[in-house]
Structure 1
Amino acid sequence: MVKVELMAPAGSPEALKAAVGNGADAVYLGGKQFNAREGAENFSQEEILAAIDYAHERGTRVYVTVNILLADRELAPALDYLYFLGKARVDGIIVQDLGLAALARRLLPELPLIGSTQMTVTSAAGAKFLQEQGFQRVVLGRELSLADIRAISRQVEIELEAFVHGALCFSYSGQCLLSSMVGGRSGNRGRCAQPCRLAYTLVDERGRPLELKPEHLLSTRDLYTLDRVPQLIAAGVKAFKIEGRMRRPEYVAVVTRAYRKIIDRYLADPEGFQVLPEEERAVAQIFNRDFTPGYLEGDPGAELMSYGRPSNRGLYLGRAGRRQGERFLVHLEAPLRQGDGLEVWVSRGGHQGLVVHHIWQGGREVTFAPAGTTVALELPPSTRPGDRIFKTSDVELLKEVRRTYTSPREERRLPLAMKVEARPGEPLKLEVIDPQGHRVQARTSVAAAVAERHPLDEAVLAEQLGRLGNTPYRLAELITSLAGPVMVPLSELNRARREAIEKLRQVRLAIFPQRVPPAAEFEEGLEQLLPRQGRGRPGAGLETGKGRGPWNEGTAGPGRQDLRGVPRLAVAVGDLEGARAALAAGAGRVYLAGETWQDREPPDPAALEELMAAAGEKGAAVIPALPRIWHETEAAAVARQLERLAAAGASLFLIAGLGGLQILKEYGLAGWGDYPLNAFNTWSLKALAGAGLTGVTLSPEMNLEQLRELDPPLPVEAIVHGALPLMVSAHCVLGARLGGKRPGRACTAPCRRGRYGLKDRLGLVFPVTTDRQCRFYLYNAREMSLIDHLEEIAALSLDWIRIEAREKPPGYIRRVTGLYREALAALENGDAGEILAALAGEAEALAPAGITRGHYFRGVV
C-alpha cells in the first residue's frame, strides 16, 4: 500500500508545533510576504529557519508558500527569498506565478516547485504542462470528483495533491476577482476579504427579490473527507492537504490528529477501515460550517452550502425546553461539561454565546453530563423554548490538544536504540540509532574503571540514558555489553548522551539538502536575467522588500522608449450574433467564447467557417476560444471541440488555462493567452511565449504603473471595457436555490427561464449566468469603462485593447464597439480632445448600474 503524505497548515509557530506534534508528515507555511494568506501570523526569516530545523529533526517536511502574482519590481526580492529558502533546506515551494516559476527553474533548478491550487489545474493536460515545466507536484482544483482525479493520475507522473479538509472557496481558486474588484484586496495577491461569506439576495432581471431575506448564498460548508480516505488514496492522491493557515493551533492539532489516525488505520487494515464517532465529533467540535465531501461524488447542489451562517456552527446540543426560573431544561444530544462554550440561536437577536459555569441534573449541580440526559442550564434572557443550542467549544478537548504543542515534553517522540560497550581501562562507548537507521557514537572522556560498590547495570544505564528531557526522542531499546563490574562517573555518562543526541540531531538535519547554487553564481545569473540597481547580497532586505531596488526613478523600465502606436480593437463575445455585431462595428478581431451559455445555442460549424472567411476578407479575424475551465471527465469533448474548430478554419485559439496550453502544443496549433492565465509580469509573458503563445491578454488586476514596467516579449492586450466575471464556480446558485438541485435530484434549469442577479447589502446587483456545463458566473455590478483614458492607455506597450461582452446582446456589442472604434480613430488622427469625453458619456449611459475604472488607477494590495 502506497504511503501518502499528510500535510497540515502552519499559520504560526504554535500551529507548526501542533501539526508536527499530532503526526503531520509535512507542513506548509508562509513568510511575512509573497504568500496567499497575508492575514495569518506567518513567519519571519528567523522563525522560518527555526521552523525548518524543528520540523526536520522530527522527520517532517516543510513547504513554503510563495503563491501570489508578482509585479515586475517584486520578482528580484522574491527570488532572493527563494534563495534564502533553498539555503535553509526547505522541501518545496508552492507557487502560482508562471514568471517566478520560470526564473526559479533557471536560477534554482534544484528547488522543488509545487503548482498552487491558484493555477486552476483541473485536467490531465494542465498537470502535464506543469510536469513538463519541471514541477514536482500540483495541488488540484477542489472542484474535481474522484473520477476526475483517477483519470488524471493514470496519465501523469507529477505528484497529485488534494485538499481533504477545511474551508472551500466558492470560486475556482485563481479565478476569483470579487474581493479584488469590490474592495481592492486581491485573492491572487494574498489579501482576500472573503466577500463570499456575506449575505446576498437572489433577484430577477428587474431587481425584484425572489426570496424572503438575504442569505449567505456564496458561503460553502467545510470540506470533510475522513470517511473517504480509501477512495482518495485509490484515486492516486499522494498528498492530503488540510486547509487552515488562518485557523488556531487547536484546530490544526485536532484535525491533523484525526487524519493521522484514519490514514494509519486504513494502511494497516484496509478491510477493517472505519471512522470512529469520537473522531467525527472532535473535528466537528473544533470548527465546522456543516460538513460536505465537496465535489468528490459529483455536484452536491444545495448541500455544498452553509446558507444560514458563514462561521463556526459547532455541535448541535439540543433545544431549549421548559423554563425553570432563570434556567431552561435541555435534553442533551452531545456531552456537556463545565467550561464548554455554547451558542444559542435565539428567535430574535441572532446567535448569543456563553460559557457554561453551572449544570444541574436531577436537582443537584454536576460538572459533567453525558449525551442523552436532561439538564438545566442558565441561558441568555432572550432565549425562548424551542431555540436551538450548539456547543462551540469543548474545554477538555482543548486542554488535551494544547498539551501536544505546549508541553515541554513532547508526546510523539522518536524511538531510539542505544548500545553501550564498557570495559575497564577504556572509555565507555555509546552508539545511538534512530528509526531510519542513522547511527552516531560518543565516548566518555575518562576510562571505565572496575566498580567496587556501584557497578553500571542495565537499570542504571536505562535511567541515565533515558533522560532525554525536552528532545523529540525516547529510549526504546537498550543493548549493553559490559565487561564485568565497571563504572564511569554519571556526569560523564550524561555528557556522552548529550553529545550523541546532538550528533544525531545534526545527522538528521543534514538529510535535507541545501538546494541552491553558490551565492556568486546565483547573483550573476540574477543580474543577467533581472538587471536592477541597489542589489545586495542574496536574501538581503527581504522583510521589507527593499533588498533590490526598482529601475531608476524617472525611467519607464527597459525597452520602453519605442511606443507601438495606437492599439487595435478586440471584442470578446458569447455567440455568432455577437461576433457579427462586433465585426460590423469595426472590431479588428473577435474572440468567440468556448462556453455556450444556457440560453443560447452552440455555433454552427458551417456558419462559423463562413464568418471567419468574411472577417478575413475585411482584414479582421474571428478567434474561437477553448473553454476557460474543463475537468478531465470533459477532456474528450474539449478535444472534439478543438478538432471541429480547426476543421472550420480556425488557426488561432484563445486559451485561458494551463490545460489549453498543453493541448495546443499536442495538436501543433497556435494560441493567444486569455486573462485568466493571470499574466502579471514580464517573465510570466516570457513563460507563456515559451509555451507557444503568440500573444497574451494581461491580468485585469494590473495598474498603469505595473503596465508601464512591462517589457513584453510578445504582443499583449488589456481589457478596457465590460463587466468582468468576478467568480466562476462549479456550484450554481440558481440550480441550488430555484432548481432544487441536490445529490440524486436533477435541476429544473431555472437559468433557461430568465435572467438573475445577486444583490449585496449596499443594493448593488451582480448579474449571473450559467453555461451548458452548469458552471456559474457572477459578473461585476458596474461595467469597466476606460474610453476617456485611452490616451494614457495608448502610451503603453499594448498591441490590442479589448471589450469584454460575452454575456451581452448584439445591440449592446454593436454600440460599444462603435464608440471605441471612433475613439481610436480620434487618437490616430491626433484629434482626441473633447471627443473621448463625449464618447465616455455615451458609454456610461449604457451602464445603468454605473462604471468602474477597474484597477488601472488603484491597483490591488
Structure 2
Amino acid sequence: MNKPELMAPAGNQEALKAAIASGADAVYLGGRQFNARAGADNFDRDGILAALDYAHERGCRVYVTVNILLADRELPAAMDYLYFLGAARVDGVIVQDLGLAHLARRLLPELPLIGSTQMTVTNAAGVKYLEQLGFKRVVLARELSLDDIRAIREQVELELEAFVHGALCFSYSGQCLLSSMIGGRSGNRGRCAQPCRLAYTLVDEAGHPLEAKPEHLLSTRDLYTLDRIPDLLAAGVTAFKIEGRLRRPEYVAVVTRAYRRVIDRYLADPRGFAVSPAERAEVAQIFNRDFTPGYLDGDPGVELMGYGRPSNRGLYLGRAGRRQGERWLVRLEAPLRRGDGLDVWVSRGGHQGIVVHHIWQEGREVPQAPPGTTVALELPPATRPGDRIFKTSDVELLEEVRRTYTSPREEPRVPLTMAVRGRPGYPLELEVVDPGGNRVQARTAVAAAVAKRHPLDMATLTAQLGRLGNTPYRLDRLVAHLEGPVMVPLSELNRLRREAIEELRQKRLSSWPQRVPSPESFRAGLEVCLTPRGRVQAPTTKTTITGYTGLPGPVAGNGYHRPRLAVAVGDGEGARVALAAGAGRVYLAGEIWQGKETLDTGDLRELVALAGEKGAEVIPALPRLWHEKEAGRVKKRLEQFMEAGARLIMVANPGGLELLQEYHLAGWGDYPLNVFNVTAVEALAAAGLQGVTLSPELNLEQLREFKSRAPGLPLEGIVHGSLPLIVSAHCVLGARLGGKKPGQVCTAPCRRGRYGLKDRLGLVFPVATDRQCRFYLYNPKEMCLVDHLAAIAGLGLAWIRIEAREKPPGYIRRVTALYREALAALGTREESRVLGAAAREAEALAPAGITRGHYFRGVIDV
C-alpha cells in the first residue's frame, strides 16, 4: 500500500513550523500576490525562501498557491513569480487560471503544476485533460464520493489530491459568484467575503416565509475524515489535504498531528485500525462547526449543514443548572481548567463567550475539574437554567501543542549516523550520513596527537558530536575507529561538527531540484508569448456550421462591429421562441431542469433545422459539470447531439474539453471556464475551441484589452439575464422541505412550486434545481446592458448573450426582441431613443431591479 502524502496549510511562518513539527509530509502556502487566501498573513519572497529552506532541510515538500484568475496586465508579474518559485526549488505550484497554466507549460515545462480545486474537476475526462496539459496532480472537487474517486482512479495515472479536513464551500469551488456579484469580492480572485455563512429565510414564490426564523441555510459543517482514511486510500487518493490557511498555528498542529498518527497507525496495522475518542475530541476542541464526512458516501442531506451557527462550536460542556448567588452549577461533560474559553448559548441574546477565571467545587476554588463532577462557574448575566455551554478553547491543549513548534527540544529531529576515524599524526575524519543517503565528510585542521591524559572515547565523542543544538538533527548512531589513544582539542572537534552539519544542510537543500531555464531564455520566451506575433492563433481549418462565420456582425454606421445576438435557454420551447424573436444563436442548456422535458434526437434535429432555415444556429451544451457516475449519460447525450446534426457543442468544464477532443468535435467555451485573460483564450484555441464566452467578472477596461490582443477567435460577453451565483451538490429544498437524509428519498418539493432565499436586507434570491438534484441560487437582480450596447459594441465582441435558462417563453420572446431591435438601431439616428425605451421595458421585466454586473465596477482588486 502506497503511503499517502499528508499536506497541511501554512498561512504564516509559525503555522509552517507547526505543520512540519506535527508530521506533515508537505505544506502549502501562498505569497503576497496571486493567492486565493488574501486574508492570510502569507509570505513575501524572502519568507518563501526561508520557508523552503526550513521545510526542505527537514524533508518536507512545499507547494505554493498561485490559484486565482489573472488579468492580462498581471500575467508578466505572475510568470516572473513562477520563475522565482521554480528557481527557489518549490515542489509544485497550485493554479486555477488556464492562461497561466498555458504560459507555464510553454516557458517553464519542468515546473510541476497542480490543478486547483477551483478548476472544478469532477470527472475522469477533466483529469485526463489536465494530464495532457502536463499537470502533475489535480485537487478533486470536494463534492465527489468515494465511488466517484475510485472510478476516476481506474482511468488515470495523474496524482489525485483530496481535502480530508476543514471548511467546506457550499458551492462547487470555482463556480461561486455570490460574494463577487453582491459585494465585489470575488472568490476567484481570493477575496471571498463568505456570504454563504450568513442567515437566510426560505420563502415561497410570493415571498412568504416557509420557516419560523432565518437560519444559516448555506453554511456547511466542517469536513472530518479521520475514520475514513482506509476508504480514501482504497479509492486511490494520493495526497490528503487539510484546509486551513486562515487558521491559527495551534489548529494546524492539532489537526496535522491527529491525521499523521491515524495514517501511520493504519499503514502499520490495517486490521486493528481505530480512531480513539481522545483524538476526535482534540480535533473537535481546536475548531469545529460540527463535523461531516462531506459527500464521501453521497449526498448527506441535512447532515452536511450547520444551520444553527456558522462559527466554532467547541465541545459540549454541560448545561447551566441551579443558580448559587452569582454562580451557576454545571455538571461537566468534559474536563475544565482555569483559562479555558466557554461559549454560553443563552436563551436570549445568542452566544456569549467568556474565559474561565474561577472554578469552585464543593465550596472551594480548584484549578481544574474532571468530567462527571459538578462545579460552580461565573456565567454571563443573560444565562438561564438549561442554557447549553460549550468549551471553545482548552488552555492545556493549546500550551501543549505550542511547545511542539516553539521549543527546539520538542521538534522532531532527522536521525544521523556518524563515523569517526583517527590516528596520531593525521587529521581526524568525520563522516555524516542522513536517512536519505546524503553523505558528507570533514577533517580537522590539525593532526591528532597521542593522548597523554584524556584520550578521545565514545562518551566524549558522543557528547561533542551530539551537540546539535537548534539544528533539525540528532545523533542516532556513532561509530569510532581510533588507532591508539588519540586526542584533538575539543574546540576543533566542535568546529568539525559544525562544518560537517553545514555541508550536510547544503547537500540536503541542493537535492531539491531547480525547475527553470536560464533567465535570458525565459524572458525572451515570455516577451514572445505576450506579444500578438507570438500568440497561438485560432485553428485555420474550421468546422462549417450553418449560419456561423466566426466573425463579428456587420459594421455599424460609426465604424464599430455590431455583435450578433445569442440567447441561452433551458428547454426546446425557449429555443423556439428565441429563434422566432430574432436570436442568431441559441444555446440549449446541458442541464435538464426540474419540470422541463428532455429533448430526444428527433426534437433536437427539428430545432437544428429550424435554426438553419432562419440563418441561425442551435448549439446544445454539455452539463456545466458532471460526476463520473453520470459520464455514460453525458456521452450518450453528446452522441445524440451529433445524430441531430449539431456541429458546435458548448462546454463549461475541463471534462467537456476532453470529450470534444475524444469525439473530434468543434466547441464553444462557456463562461464557467472562467476565461479572464487573453492567454486563456489562446489555451482554449489550442484545445480546438472555436469561440469563448468571457468571464462575467471582467469589466469594460479589461474587456477592451481582448479587442487588441486576443487571437483570431470569436468572443462573447453576457449582457443580460440572471446568473446563477451558486451551483451546489446540496439541495436546500430537499434538505429543508423534502426530508432528504442519508438513505432516505426526497419528496421533491422542487416539483411543487418555486422558492427563494431571503437575505437580511430583504432581497430574495430565486432558486432552481436540475434533474441531478443540483441546486442553483440566482441573482435577484437582472443584469441589463441594453442601454450601453454602443459601448459594448466597441469592444469587438462577435456575440452578446442573454442568459435566460430559467425564464419562461414569454420573457425570452420579449427580451430577445428588445435586444434585436436595439442592435439594429446602433449607429442610426434612432439609437438613443430605441436603447432608452428598451432599457425601460427591460427594467419593468425585473421586479427586483437591475444590475450592470461588473462592466463598470469590476471586482475588488487583489
The alpha-carbon deviation at position 357 of structure 1 amounts to: 1.4
In the alignment, structure 2 segments of 5+ residues that lack a partner are: 533-557
- Which residue of structure 2 aligns with residue 734 of structure 1? 733
Please tell me whether residue 712 in structure 1 is matched to residue 703 in structure 2. no
Question: Contact (CA 8 Å) 1:712, 1:797: kept in 2 or not?
Answer: no
The alpha-carbon deviation at position 120 of structure 1 amounts to: 0.2
- Which residue of structure 1 aligns with residue 33 of structure 2? 33
Q: How does 1:449-488 map to 2 (within 5 A)?
A: 449-488=449-488
The alpha-carbon deviation at position 564 of structure 1 amounts to: 6.3
Structure 1 residues 583-632: Cα deviation after superposition (integer angstroms, max 9, x where no partner): 11000010011111112111233122112101101101111111101001
- What is the rounded CA distance, in whole Å, between the counterparts of 2:276 and 2:414 in structure 1? 26
Q: How does 1:551-566 map to 2 (within 5 A)?
A: 565-566=561-562
Please tell me whether residue 647 in structure 1 is matched to residue 643 in structure 2. yes
- Which residue of structure 1 aligns with residue 542 of structure 2? none
Choose from 657, 664, 667 the match for 2:660. 664
Please tell me whether residue 690 in structure 1 is matched to residue 689 in structure 2. no
Q: How does 1:575-724 map to 2 (within 5 A)?
A: 575-710=571-706, 711-713=709-711, 714-724=713-723
- Which residue of structure 2 aligns with residue 323 of structure 1? 323
- Which residue of structure 2 aligns with residue 377 of structure 1? 377
- What is the rounded CA distance, in whole Å, between the counterparts of 1:281 and 1:187 in structure 2? 32
The alpha-carbon deviation at position 531 of structure 1 amounts to: 4.0
C-alpha RMSD over aligned residues: 1.1
**TM-score, normalization by structure 2:** 0.96
- Which residue of structure 1 aligns with residue 105 of structure 2? 105
- Which residue of structure 1 aligns with residue 808 of structure 2? 809
- Which residue of structure 2 aligns with residue 818 of structure 1? 817
The alpha-carbon deviation at position 169 of structure 1 amounts to: 0.2
Q: How many residues were matched structurally?
A: 832
Please tell me whether residue 159 in structure 1 is matched to residue 159 in structure 2. yes
- What is the rounded CA distance, in whole Å, between the counterparts of 2:700 and 2:444 in structure 1? 69
Percentage of matched positions with identical amino acids: 78
SS at match of 2:826: helix
SS at match of 2:94: strand
Q: How does 1:231-380 map to 2 (within 5 A)?
A: 231-380=231-380
SS at match of 2:455: coil
- What is the rounded CA distance, in whole Å, between the counterparts of 2:830 and 2:95 in structure 1? 46
AA at the equivalent of 1:80: D
Structure 1 residues 637-680: Cα deviation after superposition (integer angstroms, max 9, x where no partner): 11111112211221111101100000111011111100000011
Question: Contact (CA 8 Å) 1:146, 1:231: kept in 2 or not?
Answer: yes
- Which residue of structure 2 aligns with residue 507 of structure 1? 507
- What is the rounded CA distance, in whole Å, between the counterparts of 1:466 and 1:648 in structure 2? 77
Q: How does 1:755-770 map to 2 (within 5 A)?
A: 755-770=754-769
- Which residue of structure 2 aligns with residue 851 of structure 1? 850
In the alignment, structure 1 segments of 5+ residues that lack a partner are: 533-561
Q: Which moved more, 1:365-374 or 1:152-161?
A: 365-374
- What is the rounded CA distance, in whole Å, between the counterparts of 2:305 and 2:791 in structure 1? 44
Moved over 3 A (4+): 828-831
- What is the rounded CA distance, in whole Å, between the counterparts of 1:356 and 1:571 in structure 2? 61
- Which residue of structure 2 aligns with residue 559 of structure 1? none
Please tell me whether residue 84 in structure 1 is matched to residue 80 in structure 2. no
- Which residue of structure 2 aligns with residue 545 of structure 1? none
- What is the rounded CA distance, in whole Å, between the counterparts of 1:53 and 1:564 in structure 2? 55
- Which residue of structure 1 aligns with residue 411 of structure 2? 411
- What is the rounded CA distance, in whole Å, between the counterparts of 1:96 and 1:578 in structure 2? 34
Structure 1 residues 486-510: Cα deviation after superposition (integer angstroms, max 9, x where no partner): 1111100000000010001001001
The alpha-carbon deviation at position 378 of structure 1 amounts to: 1.4
The alpha-carbon deviation at position 527 of structure 1 amounts to: 1.2
Question: Contact (CA 8 Å) 1:563, 1:796: kept in 2 or not?
Answer: no
Structure 1 residues 487, 406: closer, same or farther in 2, change over 3 A? same
Structure 1 residues 455-478: Cα deviation after superposition (integer angstroms, max 9, x where no partner): 111111111111111000111111
SS at match of 2:267: helix
Q: Which moved more, 1:484-493 or 1:772-781?
A: 484-493
Question: Contact (CA 8 Å) 1:767, 1:778: kept in 2 or not?
Answer: yes
- What is the rounded CA distance, in whole Å, between the counterparts of 1:801 and 1:84 in structure 2? 40
- What is the rounded CA distance, in whole Å, between the counterparts of 2:410 and 2:303 in structure 1? 40
AA at the equivalent of 1:724: L
- Which residue of structure 1 aligns with residue 70 of structure 2? 70
- What is the rounded CA distance, in whole Å, between the counterparts of 1:813 and 1:231 in structure 2? 48
Structure 1 residues 47-106: Cα deviation after superposition (integer angstroms, max 9, x where no partner): 011001110000011110000001111111100000111111111000000001000111
SS at match of 1:409: helix
- What is the rounded CA distance, in whole Å, between the counterparts of 1:822 and 1:317 in structure 2? 67
SS at match of 1:695: strand
- Which residue of structure 2 aligns with residue 422 of structure 1? 422
- What is the rounded CA distance, in whole Å, between the counterparts of 1:712 and 1:580 in structure 2? 33
- What is the rounded CA distance, in whole Å, between the counterparts of 1:273 and 1:485 in structure 2? 54
- What is the rounded CA distance, in whole Å, between the counterparts of 2:471 and 2:710 in structure 1? 54
The alpha-carbon deviation at position 786 of structure 1 amounts to: 0.1
- What is the rounded CA distance, in whole Å, between the counterparts of 2:652 and 2:663 in structure 1? 17
SS at match of 2:615: coil
The alpha-carbon deviation at position 317 of structure 1 amounts to: 0.7
- Which residue of structure 2 aligns with residue 535 of structure 1? none
SS at match of 2:760: coil
SS at match of 1:437: coil
SS at match of 2:18: helix
- Which residue of structure 1 aligns with residue 551 of structure 2? none
Q: Which moved more, 1:640-649 or 1:620-629?
A: 640-649
- What is the rounded CA distance, in whole Å, between the counterparts of 1:463 and 1:146 in structure 2? 52
